[in-house]
Amino acid sequence: MALVLDIETVGQSIDAVPERALDYLFRGLERDNPEPEELEKRREDLVSRFGLDPTTGRVIVIGLVDTEKEAEHVFWERDEPALLTSFWDWLSANEPERYVTFNGKRFDIPYLNVRSAIHDLRPRVVIPSEPLSTHPHFDLREALEGNDRRRRGSLDYFCAVFGVASPKSEMDGASVGQAYEDGRLDEIVSYCLKDCHATAAIYEKLAPFYR
């Protein structure tokens, strides 16, 4: 089974970030003694990116698509430890032969690992993330960019290149946070699964060229 995996994340509230960690983050913004207005702008920008960092963000949705059976599995909970526990239990019970992600080696898998460790979870499965290896973890972005970091592109970009329907027409990563605040979790779930299916479609085109 080749299993496509994608996660959606949001930033934690400032109150949820440990005070000492928050002081460290904000202190770094004062390095050149900015004016108060500029400092506040920097703080707002930093907080707006909390969801990109597993130390200041959290996982809200995990989407999975089995490329052989075309079966969908989705995990979503407002209680993050419960979400992660359900995900790791399912993964352990199903043991996929290959993981397929888009930028998963740099983002999704480290994010899941760090959030799980913070909650003292001990998963029975380790998702391999060795660089430049396509088995058992095929990271599409890594395969498409090779050693040339300048060749990077978004999933939306590669969907256009490969003639695959883009999942970004109604939502993208930047709008997930607002959708979550609005209580539109069902839309985020749908968006996450669309990302999975787009990743699967590109994978099916690339897979024959790799072992």
Name all domains of the chain by residue range, CATH numbers in brackets. 2-11+60-209 (3.30.420.10)
pLDDT tier, 149 (very low <50, low <70, confident <90, very high otherwise): low
pTM: 0.93
Q: What pLDDT digit, counting tens, does each position of 83-105 carry? A: 999 999 999 999 899 999 999 99
DSSP conformational letter for 33: -
Owner of token pair 């990302």: 195
Rounded to whole angstroms, the maximal C-alpha distance in the chain is 57
DSSP conformational letter for 138: E
Question: Distance between CA atoms of 72 and 64, rounded to whole angstroms?
Answer: 6
Owner of token pair 């027409």: 169
Q: Are 200 and 100 in contact (CB under 8 A)?
A: yes
